[in-house]
């Protein structure tokens, strides 16, 4: 199997995958996609369950996605994951959307029913499962401060918090207008004092943290080892749960700061795991083997 395939490969699919041990019938479409760890996780699951197919990466530009999805459907694919930049633009390409995709306005998981494309979104539910497994906590019991409410991950997480009725949700974003727009959309899920959009400055964040149970970093800060912590240790307290959606490097500078103050922290690998497990469940209508998927994701 190649590191990644392209639209040109899909156009000559029999030739492109000649020699593969078992057929590629699942994958992830993205641009860039070479860094995706989904194949390790999914191929471990497929093998464990005796499903004779493979999962591969597809390097597909935004304007190629419609053709790629059509070719996959006619080649008999079971499903495909969508990542940056395809999650929102794929909505009109679907023949059917499940509730999570409709409500979030984004698709990260497609199931092929012959030529029909059924879009779903497992990012939000994957986040909820990650919080449950990392902290034994339910979103409905938590006051949540979300940093980076303007990006794709931040929006999916905010919607999940709204759907599950978290006790309070504070949206912080460098570009305040994006957080304010999201707060307007989510207001119907919340009472008067339960939802707020706040500017990204130390004083405002500090006063919120005193009334927060769970801080979520949904910004991209922390992906580079040289990044400073998104919040320094002096702003954190030992009462906090901190979930960093960044998972590479394994321990981000935010999680170093969390450890320094004796709070509980976790990185985004569990969200990656659970959104993948939920996609597997949609494709095969059976439980995903987390016990083999989890180790396959480690560095």
- How far is residue 249's CA from residue 62's CA, in Å, rounded to a whole number? 28
For the purposes of burial, counting CB atoms within 10 Å of the CB of 275, is it exposed (0-12), middle (13-18) or buried (19 or more)? Answer: buried
Q: How far is the CB of 177 from ligand ATR (least distance, A)?
A: 9
- The residues in 180-219 that bind ligand ATR, with binding defined as CB under 6 A, are 219
87 binding ligand ATR? (CB under 6 A): no
* Nearest to ligand ATR of 5, 243 (CB atom): 243
Q: Alpha helices, DSSP H only, in the chain?
A: 7-11, 13-16, 38-48, 65-74, 99-104, 123-135, 152-163, 176-186, 202-209, 253-261, 269-284, 290-297
Site for ligand ATR contains 246 (CB under 6 A)? no
Query: Using the rule CB under 6 A, is 89 a contact of ligand ATR?
Result: no
Closest among 69, 5, 84, 87 to 39, alpha carbons compared: 5
Nearer to ligand ATR, 212 or 219 (CB): 219
> 3-state DSSP call for residue 186?
helix
Catalytic residue check, 178: no
- Which entry of 2, 52, 87, 282 is annotated as an active-site residue? 87
In the complex, least distance from residue 224 CB atom to ligand ATR, rounded to whole angstroms: 11
Count of residues of this chain found to bind ligand ATR when the rule CB under 6 A is applied: 14
Contact predicate 158/146, CB 8 Å: yes
* Least Cβ distance, residue 171 to ligand ATR (angstroms): 10
Minimum separation from the CB atom of position 268 to ligand ATR (A): 12
Q: Looking up tokens 């994957």, which residue turns up?
A: 126
Q: Which member of 107, 153, 258, 296 binds ligand ATR (CB under 6 A)?
A: 153
- Assess 297 for contact with ligand ATR (CB under 6 A): no
How many helices (H) and strands (E) the chain has is answered by 12, 13
Q: Residue numbers of the site for ligand ATR (CB under 6 A)?
A: 84, 148, 150-154, 173-175, 178, 219-221
Query: Which residues have a catalytic role annotated?
Result: 87
């Amino acid at each position: 199997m190649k590191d990644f395939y392209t639209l040109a490969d899909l156009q000559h699919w029999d030739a492109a995958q000649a020699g593969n041990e078992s057929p590629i019938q699942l994958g992830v479409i993205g641009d860039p996609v070479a860094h995706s760890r989904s194949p390790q996780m999914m191929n471990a699951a497929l093998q464990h369950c005796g499903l004779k197919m493979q999962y591969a990466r597809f390097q597909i530009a935004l304007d190629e996605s419609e053709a790629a999805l059509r070719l996959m459907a006619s080649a008999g694919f079971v499903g495909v994951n969508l990542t940056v930049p395809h999650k929102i633009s794929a909505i009109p390409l679907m023949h059917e959307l499940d509730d999570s995709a409709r409500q979030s306005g984004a698709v990260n998981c497609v199931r092929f029913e012959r030529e029909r494309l059924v879009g779903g979104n497992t990012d939000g539910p994957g986040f909820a499962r990650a919080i449950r497994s990392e902290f034994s906590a339910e979103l409905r019991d938590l006051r949540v401060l979300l940093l980076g409410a303007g990006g794709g991950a931040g929006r999916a997480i905010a919607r999940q918090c709204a759907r599950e009725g978290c006790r309070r949700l504070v949206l912080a974003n460098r570009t305040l207008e994006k957080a304010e727009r999201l707060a307007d959309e989510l207001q119907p899920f919340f009472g008067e004092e339960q939802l707020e959009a706040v500017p990204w400055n130390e004083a405002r964040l500090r006063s919120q943290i005193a009334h927060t149970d769970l801080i979520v970093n949904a910004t991209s800060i922390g992906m580079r080892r040289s990044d400073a912590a998104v919040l320094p240790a002096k702003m954190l307290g030992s009462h906090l749960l901190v979930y960093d959606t960044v998972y590479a490097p394994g321990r981000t500078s935010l999680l170093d700061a969390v450890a320094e103050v004796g709070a509980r922290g976790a990185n985004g690998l569990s969200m990656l795991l659970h959104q993948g497990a939920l996609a597997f469940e949609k494709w095969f209508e059976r439980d995903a083997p987390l016990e083999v998927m989890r180790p396959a994701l480690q560095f």
